[in-house]
Amino acid sequence: MSSMMPASESIAERHNDARPTALLFQGVRKHFWKNGQWVEAIRNATFDVQDGEFVAVIGPSGCGKSTLLNMAAGIMDRTGGELEHRGVPVSGSAVTSGVGYVTQKDTLLPWRTAMDNIQLPLEIRGLPKRERMEKAAKQIDLVGLSGFENHFPHELSGGMRKRVGLARTLIYEPQTLLMDEPFGALDAQLTLVMEEELLRILEQRRRTVLYVTHDLDEAITMADRVVVLAARPSTVHLVQDIDIPRPRDVHKVRYTPRFGQLHDILWNVISGDIRKGEEM
């Protein structure tokens, strides 16, 4: 049965016998100083991500989706509220331990091959070269890049570069993945391929995922729950369970009756905020 959590419902009230909480946002607020005045970006964000869960965040442009990820990563501080990763408070003064961040841009080093880009985090950590290369080879196989180990970024397609970036994040085995519209720059067909690949990888190596997207279809296809943010100043309008069985076929699932029902529920919430934004 599908369930919806209104913003007023507490995390404790929602989860009686839940898995451990990986990420907790409780009344999180964020203000920015702009043009000589404070701008309220996020007013009251309350939701959680359970261990091993895939949660997608959607909402109008500029509502603070990426800001939530930056705060969870520990690279931006919150103005108020509580933010924890696995029970440890997160602040903007230190990168959050155990978290991997996949950004919109692939940020690959152009002078390094796919293999060398993937093993870079382990090189920074000082692991011996043999161990780094063995782990990188496993990641290359996992993301389906065998045969392209020695290619440079300019020799790879957009999808392949995304795979390299994902492998580079997975190689140091983060407990939690933060993903900011990782496939947003790809065409529709390639996006479906990459969604399928990501779901395949997560079936093999389950991770906790907080995933920002502007694509409602993608959110329903990928997630266990979808968090809907309101327009700025952002609050949580709705947390919707996605009760579609796994594993999911990223193409066929979009033609199921339940997908259409969930799409209608979420669109009815989002569309109102989009219209408000156009009127401002």
d(CA 41, CA 256): 36
* Mean pLDDT calculated for residue range 38-61: 92
- CA angle, residues 69, 67, 223, in degrees to nearest 5: 45
Backbone angles phi, psi at 27, to 5 degrees: 60, 35
Residue 227, beta-bridge partner list: 57, 239
Q: What is the CA radius of gyration of the chain?
A: 19
d(CA 229, CA 240): 12
* 96-127 per-position pLDDT tens digit: 888 999 988 888 999 999 999 999 999 988 99
- CA angle, residues 25, 30, 34, in degrees to nearest 5: 165
Residue with tokens 């509502």, as numbered in its chain: 63
* Mean pLDDT calculated for residue range 215-226: 96
pLDDT value of position 276 = 59
Domains of the chain (ranges plus CATH)?
4-98+174-279 (3.40.50.300)
Q: By C-alpha distance, which of 185, 142, 141 is closest to 162?
A: 185
12-43 as b/e, with b when 16 or more CB fall inside 10 Å? eeeeeeeeebbbbbbebbbbeeeeeeeeebbb
pLDDT band at 91 (very low <50, low <70, confident <90, very high): confident
pLDDT value of position 7 = 42
* Mean pLDDT calculated for residue range 127-139: 92
- What tokens does 97 get? 């331990």
pLDDT value of position 6 = 46
* 145-156 per-position pLDDT tens digit: 999 999 999 999
* Mean pLDDT calculated for residue range 6-25: 61
* 239-252 per-position pLDDT tens digit: 999 999 999 999 99
* Mean pLDDT calculated for residue range 2-14: 42
d(CA 49, CA 19): 10
Q: By C-alpha distance, which of 25, 36, 38 is closest to 78?
A: 25
278 versus 35: the higher-pLDDT residue is 35
Q: Give percent of the chain above pLDDT 70.
A: 91
Average pLDDT taken over every residue of the chain: 87
* Mean pLDDT calculated for residue range 10-30: 72
d(CA 40, CA 63): 10
Q: Could you tell me how far CA 164 lies from the centroid of its own chain?
A: 17
Residue with tokens 């404070």, as numbered in its chain: 38
pLDDT band at 279 (very low <50, low <70, confident <90, very high): very low
Q: If you write DSSP's letter for every residue of the chain in order, what string do you get?
A: ---EE-TTS-HHHH-SSPPPEEEEEEEEEEEEEETTEEEEEEEEEEEEEETT-EEEEE-STTSSHHHHHHHHHTSS--SEEEEEETTEE--TTSPPTTEEEE-SS----TTS-HHHHHTHHHHHTT--HHHHHHHHHHHHHHTT-TT-TT--GGGS-HHHHHHHHHHHHHTT--SEEEEESTTTTS-HHHHHHHHHHHHHHHHHS--EEEEE-S-HHHHHHH-SEEEEEPSSSEEEEEEEE----SS--TTGGGGSHHHHHHHHHHHHHHHHHHHHHHH-
Please determine, for residue 263, whether its predicted confidence score (pLDDT) is greater than 80: yes
Please determine, for residue 8, whether its predicted confidence score (pLDDT) is greater than 60: no
Q: What is the pTM of this model?
A: 0.88
